[in-house]
């Protein structure tokens, strides 16, 4: 990220002699000169002269004897061992200086859609292999012109060794094509103008960006957005949007100071922002949620488009339903020809598809919900190195995987749900690619305990010396621990949809005492029966019948609840079949899943009966919470000696059904339900503290993507003098599992367990 040239420039300006180089441990600078100058050097490097994308995590300085005869400052060739670690960085949004050059008529990159410098531009998405040098990127086919080459080789220039450096004379080009791929505008300015015209008309345009194609449509035009939904076969899931300025975003959403910092960062992720009342965004962009997903333009091409009078665009991943993001021109034409009316293409090949990252705010802190562009492959660091290299396979849903090299945890970008065959192939390719990029040869493999997971089966098929299978929820808690540089033990509270338990049940509301080397189940939601494996996480009637049976036991009569159940599943005979399965324990599992309880409650307050995408019903339930309500439902914690504490929600279910019968406001019911869950988890934490004297509570699992619940629980825990930890650098959902697996495997190896 241009750190060495920055060091060079500052040292030279201050008349210091010495050298700079980097290796796997970081950057080493030797300086010779006046004491005051050296002090000034440190101030400048940490402040105004620090490259924007660089982060100085620690800085140590020591005096060394003077070396005679040094008069110059030089950049030394980096020593080779482990150098790969420090080389490939994440893709960065176009920087302000490049933007102003792009707007400057006298600059030779005026209106050039691929302008970049050491402080910005694509990196990870264009690297084919190491070392990170132009011939090993997809820029290798473009021969630099003299002007570009002069900047590239000038150590004092902002473009010194910026591998993707290019201009209109020598670099990639854009063009506009029709839905068949036939070019319609090949001149750069005309192509952006015509694209903007099509978008204003309500057309769908596939726009090739940094990490892949987006499908773009005018976000203020409901008819156009609906057309995109129909064609993309995506009926419900909210779409992300893009605007060219924070001011524009503020017209539609509430942007806090912290949110603004994240929106304008070089990582430039999508940020979930509370909707403004009566915002003019087309209703079909984001129904059933309380937030809009906004990002700022981050590629120069985006800025050129928005400069043509576009307000806000839906910018959703260019793919069909849950397949991998498309990044190649021919594949885009083949797969998206029926979705897009036109294609804004370019000839800079994207080697790695990288989705947009997503950030939300928990307890006023930014936390990643999807970690990809801008963040990958930046490693997460452990305090202690691990001698062996490790591959952690991750989870099957929202998959990421993770490599361990020395003290670095290198998490992959968001891969997706492995049950899709294309995603699974992409997963295997991605593992190979990242292994190559970081020169990792893992002899140790970590994976989930679930025997049916494809990631587990893949991990088991590898020629490893050691395989470590790790319980799902333990991995969630471990991901929190390693992010906070803790080894534990802590009280882990883990709320989730699905995870395979050590007893073969499907866990999902757990309280454990956990460290990186061990865990013990302290308590959990009392088991209820879930009928019909995969369907149970889609159809709300299934967990609902399981919970009703659990609550009313022998007395449960489906006819008495006809008024409640019929709107959810009109086919009463189907209901009876499911109930019979539950009663006879046929094709059912015992479960403590909290995610499914959310599904059942959402269905009872008539928010829908089916999860068309993951967590649709829980998100709808969160969106209607009446936040002024402080009331809560009742629950019990039951315990018998030697057994985990049981969280019993039968009272809550009875009271909630009475509220539904009394036609209480759904928003009030939702609030009382959320409050009850927060109270119950707090009570569980108190009980765990009584027994263990631990004060640290780590929250993990997909349910904590629910901001209302998490914010409330964090507040209650803090009021109870707990120290609360949650995921920030990786998602609290299954996207963070691989990090937890890797951290546990590294700790076990370190302790020879």
Q: Smallest distance from the beta carbon of 109 to Zn ion, in angstroms? A: 8
3-class secondary structure, 77: coil
Q: Is 71 exposed, middle or buried (0-12, 13-18, 19+ CB in 10 A)?
A: exposed
Q: Smallest distance from the beta carbon of 442 to Zn ion, in angstroms? A: 36
Which lies closer to Zn ion via its Cβ, residue 117 or residue 286?
117
The first and second tokens of residue 540, run together, are: 């709300």
CA 391, CA 401: separation in Å to the nearest integer? Answer: 8
Q: What residues between 188 and 207 interact with Zn ion by CB under 5 A?
A: none
Which lies closer to Zn ion via its Cβ, residue 95 or residue 703?
95
Which lies closer to Zn ion via its Cβ, residue 115 or residue 282?
115
Binding region for Zn ion (CB under 5 A) out of 147-155, 433-441, 645-653, 662-670:
147-155
Q: What residues between 380 and 409 interact with Zn ion by CB under 5 A?
A: none
Per-residue interface string for the shown chain with Zn ion, residues 151-170, x marking contact by CB under 5 A:
----------------x-xx
Q: Smallest distance from the beta carbon of 173 to Zn ion, in angstroms? A: 12
- 148 belongs to the binding site for Zn ion (CB under 5 A): yes
- 467 belongs to the binding site for Zn ion (CB under 5 A): no
CA 544, CA 344: separation in Å to the nearest integer? Answer: 47
Q: Smallest distance from the beta carbon of 543 to Zn ion, in angstroms? A: 51
Q: What residues between 60 and 99 interact with Zn ion by CB under 5 A?
A: 95, 98
| Structure-token match 């315990």, residue found | 639
Confirm if 450 and 458 have CB atoms less than 8 A apart. no
Kindly list the distances between the CA atom of residue 100 and the CA atoms of 90, 91, 110, 151, 272, in Å, as whole numbers in the listed order: 23, 20, 9, 17, 28
Which lies closer to Zn ion via its Cβ, residue 244 or residue 749?
244
CA 143, CA 155: separation in Å to the nearest integer? Answer: 20
Which lies closer to Zn ion via its Cβ, residue 51 or residue 211?
51
| Structure-token match 């020591």, residue found | 62
- 325 belongs to the binding site for Zn ion (CB under 5 A): no
The site for Zn ion, by CB under 5 A, has a size of 10
Q: Is 687 exposed, middle or buried (0-12, 13-18, 19+ CB in 10 A)?
A: middle
Q: Smallest distance from the beta carbon of 359 to Zn ion, in angstroms? A: 22
What string of DSSP letters covers 523-541?
EEEPPEEEESTGGGGTBTH
Which lies closer to Zn ion via its Cβ, residue 5 or residue 543?
5
Binding region for Zn ion (CB under 5 A) out of 117-125, 272-280, 421-429, 744-752:
117-125
Which lies closer to Zn ion via its Cβ, residue 98 or residue 326?
98
Q: Smallest distance from the beta carbon of 120 to Zn ion, in angstroms? A: 4
Q: Smallest distance from the beta carbon of 6 to Zn ion, in angstroms? A: 13
Helix then strand then coil, in percent of the chain rounded to 5, is 35, 20, 40
Q: Is 147 exposed, middle or buried (0-12, 13-18, 19+ CB in 10 A)?
A: middle
Q: Which residues of 143-277 form beta strands (DSSP E)?
A: 174-178, 183-185, 205-208, 213-218, 240-243, 270-274
What string of DSSP letters covers 446-460?
EEES-TT-HHHHHHH
Q: Smallest distance from the beta carbon of 473 to Zn ion, in angstroms? A: 43
Closest CA to 241 of 289, 189, 174: 289
Q: Smallest distance from the beta carbon of 102 to Zn ion, in angstroms? A: 9
Which lies closer to Zn ion via its Cβ, residue 148 or residue 449?
148
| Neighbouring C-beta atoms of residue 553, cutoff 10 Å | 9
- 53 belongs to the binding site for Zn ion (CB under 5 A): no
Q: What residues between 127 and 146 interact with Zn ion by CB under 5 A?
A: 145
Which lies closer to Zn ion via its Cβ, residue 117 or residue 589?
117
- 120 belongs to the binding site for Zn ion (CB under 5 A): yes
In the complex, the residues that contact Zn ion under the rule CB under 5 A are 95, 98, 117, 119-120, 145, 148, 167, 169-170
């Amino acid at each position: 990220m241009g750190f060495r040239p920055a060091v060079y420039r500052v040292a030279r300006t201050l008349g210091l002699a010495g050298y700079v180089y980097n290796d796997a441990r970081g950057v080493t600078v030797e300086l010779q000169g006046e004491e005051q100058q050296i002090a000034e050097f440190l101030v400048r490097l940490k402040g105004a002269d620090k490259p924007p994308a660089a982060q100085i995590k620690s800085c140590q300085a020591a005096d060394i004897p003077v070396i005679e005869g040094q008069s110059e400052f030089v950049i030394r060739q980096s020593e080779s061992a482990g150098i790969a670690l420090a080389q490939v960085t994440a893709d960065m949004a176009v920087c302000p200086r490049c933007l102003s050059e792009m707007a400057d008529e006298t600059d030779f990159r005026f209106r050039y859609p691929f302008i970049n410098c050491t402080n910005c531009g694509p990196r990870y998405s264009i690297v084919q292999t190491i070392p990170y040098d132009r011939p090993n990127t997809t820029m290798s086919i473009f021969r630099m012109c003299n002007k570009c080459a002069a900047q590239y080789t000038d150590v004092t220039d902002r473009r010194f060794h910026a591998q993707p450096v290019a201009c209109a004379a020598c670099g990639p080009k854009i063009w506009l094509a029709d839905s068949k791929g036939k070019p319609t505008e090949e001149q750069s300015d005309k192509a952006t103008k015509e694209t903007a015209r099509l978008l204003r008309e309500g057309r769908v345009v596939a726009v090739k960006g940094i990490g892949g194609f987006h499908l773009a449509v005018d976000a203020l035009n409901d008819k156009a957005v609906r057309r995109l939904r129909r064609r993309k076969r995506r009926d419900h899931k909210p779409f992300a949007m893009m605007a060219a300025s924070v001011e524009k975003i503020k017209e539609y959403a509430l942007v806090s100071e912290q949110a603004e910092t994240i929106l304008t960062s070089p990582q430039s992720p999508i940020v979930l922002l509370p909707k403004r009342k009566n915002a003019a965004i087309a209703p079909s962009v984001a129904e059933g949620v309380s937030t809009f997903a906004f990002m700022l333009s981050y590629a120069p091409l985006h800025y050129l488009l928005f400069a043509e009078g576009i307000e806000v665009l839906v910018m959703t991943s260019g793919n069909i339903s849950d397949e991998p993001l498309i990044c190649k021109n021919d594949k885009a034409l083949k797969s998206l020809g029926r979705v897009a009316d036109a294609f804004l293409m370019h000839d800079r090949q994207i080697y790695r598809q990288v989705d947009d990252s997503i950030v939300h705010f928990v307890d006023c802190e930014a936390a990643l919900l999807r970690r990809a562009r801008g963040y990958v492959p930046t490693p997460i660091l452990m305090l202690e190195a691990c001698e062996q290299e490790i591959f952690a396979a991750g989870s099957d849903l929202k998959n990421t995987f993770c490599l361990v090299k020395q003290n670095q945890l290198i998490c992959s970008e968001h891969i997706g749900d492995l049950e899709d065959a294309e995603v699974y192939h992409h997963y295997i390719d991605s593992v190979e690619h990242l292994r190559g990029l970081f020169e990792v040869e893992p002899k140790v493999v970590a994976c989930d305990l679930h025997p049916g997971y494809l990631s587990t089966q893949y991990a088991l098929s590898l020629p490893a010396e050691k395989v470590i299978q790790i319980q799902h929820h333990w991995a969630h808690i471990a991901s929190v621990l390693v992010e906070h540089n803790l080894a534990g033990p802590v009280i882990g509270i883990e709320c989730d949809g699905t995870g395979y338990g050590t007893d073969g049940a499907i866990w999902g509301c757990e309280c454990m005492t956990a460290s990186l080397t061990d865990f013990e189940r302290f308590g959990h939601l009392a088991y209820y029966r879930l009928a019909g494996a995969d369907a149970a996480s889609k159809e709300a009637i299934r967990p609902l019948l399981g919970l009703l049976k659990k609550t009313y036991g022998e007395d449960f009569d489906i006819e008495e609840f006809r008024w409640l159940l019929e709107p959810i599943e009109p086919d009463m005979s189907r209901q009876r079949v499911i109930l019979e399965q539950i009663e006879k324990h046929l094709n059912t599992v015992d479960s403590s899943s909290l995610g499914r309880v959310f599904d059942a409650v959402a269905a009872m307050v008539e928010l829908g009966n089916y999860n068309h995408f993951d967590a649709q019903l829980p998100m709808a339930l969160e969106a209607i919470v009446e936040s002024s309500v402080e009331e809560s439902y009742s629950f019990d914690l039951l315990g018998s000696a030697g057994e985990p504490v049981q969280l019993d929600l039968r009272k809550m279910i009875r009271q909630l059904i009475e509220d539904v019968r009394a036609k209480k406001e759904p928003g009030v019911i939702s609030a009382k339900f959320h409050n009850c869950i927060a109270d119950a988890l707090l009570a569980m934490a108190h009980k765990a503290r009584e027994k263990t004297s631990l004060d640290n509570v780590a929250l993990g699992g997909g349910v904590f993507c629910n901001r209302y619940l998490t914010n409330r629980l964090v507040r209650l825990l803090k009021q109870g003098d707990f120290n609360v930890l949650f995921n920030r650098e990786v998602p609290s959902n299954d996207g963070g599992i691989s990090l937890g697996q890797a951290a546990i495997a590294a700790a076990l190896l370190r302790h020879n367990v």
